[in-house]
Structure 1
């Protein structure tokens, strides 16, 4: 496995690291994997997880490019007024253009965490060269105001269920009059109202669902990776609900859970789980579509039904 720095893009302003291995098999090259910045974190990713992903994929024969969007990390700031959501998609396509010219690769798998997942999805929708996407902790409520009361109450409920309930100090505060009982009551009322309403994610017109349907129709394989301890898991249920289960039966869309992990996969154990999952997903995406045409099941080995009809899937 070898790594080399790159300077590429229309303005020669994008900095990246290319990892690959000498080709040992005949035939056309495998699809390349492109890692897109998670938020404002540069190309190494949180806890250097992007470095580990790139190296483990390169060691198995994939060409992997991780680079910085303009204005992040080592890449220069853009000199135009193009908004980030458009410039990032354009720069992801410039990365594909470079790999196609320099390495004769014309199929790509995009991958990113948080906002990098959003750009991966948008680039996949806009470029037919993309055959797969791994969306890590996709921010399903990205269009909502971060200060919206409903969003704050849902995230508080997630914290209480997943952390406070098993924290002795939280119980001590509750039993000694130091807890915010009024806020607790608001959270409980909000959760009851949400659960008895007309089904979370009941609308089949969700923009995310529409995007996933478009990609499924094109044969693009998409895996949504969620940390078990991240609010995005419940936001996934609230956003697309039972319709995601229907989509998963086409064989192109899958949801995978990384057990007992947080948003950034802080512990080494979390990272090992994520690496194992990503390696399996990318290898599956790289297979010709006809190899999987006889199966109508999701690309997962275990189905776990949770809440109101959403199937959460995991291979771990």
Structure 2
């Protein structure tokens, strides 16, 4: 599940067209699926904040524990070579976790520049306006756009060593093959000696994981159903939310935790002049939250051209920030 939702912005015609294309493509596929990046409209953001406050949802607190209680260890790992560097955060959001590391690096007199990347111009503007006053002495250059395009821009701005942070187990929002390809692409944008700090949720008791994505209060269910509400509102569909239920499944062997919406009856949904037929009990695959072992994290890194250089755990060893060196 994505951990850094961004403030809603008015969509351009191009974005609306892409949204329509992606929804129609997903609902015409077999099996049907929707892209989890579209969860985050204004109501989706509010519901996700509620999810993070659920007692069952452990992820946010565990990585925050690492960044608040092991800040020194993180800072020392990043600055070990002593060379000046650019600290690039993919999907920076509000930098709630990162700010603790940024403060410590500044306190240590580290020569670095923080380069947050986010697709939301609002998020970048907020960071540029607020972070320098919260962390006096911080040098910051915000980069608005897609990850890989902005990594290229960061390289054009500066030839200093790069340290890329990809936190929140956002790597888990992809199937394993896509996550592997993502790491390979990141490596292509880095030079030997550059670093990546990657937050990963680890395999653990299956009941703990499943509960995190199927809370007793039904907030995760509402979060998934809200995407249908958004499609109705923005794309003119006629989903009847009463005809869909939420289902979550975790496979401890593969580490895949998947969420679905289940059609409770045979029905037809109309969207943009198309009739989309659902069979009774047919599902829409909504999202994946992939879990890994330490060995799997290291193997994925090695296959992408990184050398595992350290693991920084929370106190329960449920979550890890893996230190990976390019080359």
Same fold? TM cut 0.5: no
TM-score, normalising length: structure 2? 0.33
- Structure with the larger RCO, 1 or 2 (CA within 8 Å, 6+ apart): 2
Which structure shows the higher strand fraction?
2
TM norm structure 1: 0.34
